[in-house]
Amino acid sequence: MAKERKRSHSQRSPSPPKPPIFPSYQTAPNLNPKVKLLCEIIATTPSSSVENLLENTGLRITQHDVESVLNLSYSFPSQAVKFFRWSGHKLQHQHSPYSWNLVVDLLGKNGLFDAMWDAVKSMKNAGLVSLATFASVFSSYVRFDKVKEAVLTFEVMDQYGCVRDIVALNTLISAICREGKTIDGLEFLRVARSRIKPDSDSYAILLEGWEKEGNVGLAKTTFDEMVAEVGWDPGNVPAYESFLSTLIKGKDGISEALRHVDILLENKCYPGMKFFRDALDDFQKVGNVRGAELIWKAMVERVGIMPDTEMYNSMITLYCSKNYTDLAKKMLDEMVFTGAFPDVQSYDVLFHFLIKNRKLKDASVVFNEMVKNEFFPSKADCIRAVKIFLDVGDPYMAIKVWKFMLENYDSDLEETGNLLINGLRDANMLPEAVKYAEGMIEKRIKVTAATLSRLKHSLTREKKDGVYEELIRKWKSC
């Protein structure tokens, strides 16, 4: 860790950036036809011919058109600049500041730094340079692993009429950390803070960077420096959340994170709901019931945050995945008393696992409550439920689920319907079997020849051939 902290910008070996994925006019929805035509010319025409072809269109151009075209032309920087120049003549050289910033950005994002600075100098002459301009330059340099150049750019901002203040400093740190170079951001801050006092946002940006990189050691170092530099700030929730999220993924994990929750509370600082939601989500994904329960308890009992529906759903899903359906059902019952309310996911997950694990008494209760609250179980779970209820000798619940399916689904019902008819017949519920066969026929759901054959056998045995004849007549007529 010591080596990592001492590393300087010059020691970093350059690495080529990942190939950029720029927005394209070909995938932009509801694109204005004029903008689409201009983008197409830029994308399909050699740079030397672009201006002549644009002129031949005879189109009238607005500032908004220019902005839209530039936004979708990052993959063709040379042609885009020619378009910018051509459209400038059409607009009496009254390009918007946003258009100028787009040119600076698309040149920088393509690594054309000399041309980028030519554009910045032109902006300076027009009095259009802003912090947004430098934010783009910072981002482009860092993306190409040129952190040193980004820092040097920060040093010359005042020459272009932009103040080197804390907002500018945080903009540079953000650009550095966004590209996974948080160590460089920390080193720059340590140098710059003798001239510009960092604020809570400065450290929040760094801690978010350590969270993304999973560097627990340097997260602790940065956190300690933040407390020493700016003190305890109840409003600095993002920094605390990022720090705790990093700790929870470290060696001591949950215990260390909860220890720091207590330290925060002692200093009247509170992590927000985002940390607890993300932690629960992470524990749910890896199946860590103990970790999730500890976080839940800390959230409710120590911090006093009431969980929302999304958090309850994470716990319900986690419990169900571990076959703790009793605890999952308890969560469902508890929700309304804490101001959260079950949604379709709450019921769907629980019903799915209750059916899967054949806890059918509870599944029946959840199904009834679910339907009462107008939440629909999935068709796949309904099909599975009909089969299992028939298998365990509960045809009435199977019928209830089938009725729900008839009312709410209009396809792929044939297999389940025939299964129900045969199940009712086997359960000595022949009148009901005939009734639901007739219902299927009326709704034009196919009753198979095999199902009819079994019904015929049973009806003949019961001396009810007339019932079968009427059934087969309806079947043939439909």
18 falls in which pLDDT band (50, 70, 90)?
A: low
Q: Mean pLDDT, to the nearest integer, of 264-289?
A: 92
pLDDT at 339: 87
Q: Mean pLDDT, to the nearest integer, of 450-463?
A: 86
Cα 319 → chain centroid: 23
Residue 287 reports pLDDT greater than 90: yes
310 falls in which pLDDT band (50, 70, 90)?
A: very high
Cα 239 → chain centroid: 21
Q: Mean pLDDT, to the nearest integer, of 319-344?
A: 92
Q: End-to-end alpha-carbon separation of the chain, Å?
A: 78
Report the percentage of the chain scoring pLDDT > 90: 77
Q: Which residue has the tokens 């378009």?
A: 83
From the list 129, 134, 163, the residue with the least C-alpha distance to 151 is 134
CA torsion sign for 200, 205, 211, 213 is negative
Cα–Cα dist 187/418, whole Å? 71
From the list 426, 431, 352, 428, the residue with the least C-alpha distance to 391 is 426
Q: What is the pLDDT of residues 218-271, one digit of tens each?
A: 999 999 999 999 999 999 999 999 999 999 987 778 899 999 999 999 999 989
> Where exactly are the structural domains of the chain?
378-478
Q: Which residue has the higher pLDDT, 12 or 102?
A: 102
Residue 82 reports pLDDT greater than 80: yes
Cα–Cα dist 146/401, whole Å? 64
Which of the residue ranges 14-18, 183-187, 216-220, 334-338 would you say has the lowest mean pLDDT? 14-18
Rg (CA), the chain: 33
1 falls in which pLDDT band (50, 70, 90)?
A: very low
For residues 75, 79, 80 and 85, what is the CA-based torsion angle, rounded to 10 degrees?
Answer: 170
Cβ neighbours, 10 Å, residue 390: 21
Q: Mean pLDDT, to the nearest integer, of 30-40?
A: 93
Joined tokens for residue 295: 């976080």
- Is 270 in a helix, a strand, or coil? coil
Q: What is the per-residue DSSP string for 320-385?
A: HHTT-HHHHHHHHHHGGGGT----HHHHHHHHHHHHHTT-HHHHHHHHHHHHHTT-PPPHHHHHHH
161's CB contacts (< 8 A; 6+ apart) are: 124, 127, 129
8 falls in which pLDDT band (50, 70, 90)?
A: very low
Q: What is the pLDDT of residues 312-323, one digit of tens each?
A: 999 999 999 999
107's CB contacts (< 8 A; 6+ apart) are: 77, 81, 113, 115, 116, 119, 140
The pTM (predicted TM-score) of the whole model is: 0.78
Cα–Cα dist 261/272, whole Å? 11
pLDDT at 17: 60
Joined tokens for residue 126: 């027009």
Q: What is the pLDDT of residues 367-421, one digit of tens each?
A: 999 999 999 899 999 999 999 999 999 999 999 999 999 999 988 899 999 999 9
Residue 4 reports pLDDT greater than 60: no
Q: Does domain 378-478 have CATH number 1.25.40.10?
A: yes
Contact 448, 420 (CB under 8 A): no
Q: What is the pLDDT of residues 322-331, one digit of tens each?
A: 999 999 999 9
Long-range contacts of 372-380 (CB under 8 A, 24+ apart): 373/342, 373/347, 375/342, 375/343, 375/344, 375/347, 375/348, 376/344, 376/408, 377/347, 377/348, 377/351, 377/352, 377/404, 378/348, 378/352, 379/405, 379/409, 379/412
pLDDT at 447: 87
Residue 139 reports pLDDT greater than 90: yes
Cα–Cα dist 293/299, whole Å? 10
Contact 86, 120 (CB under 8 A): no
The chain-wide mean pLDDT, for the chain, equals 91
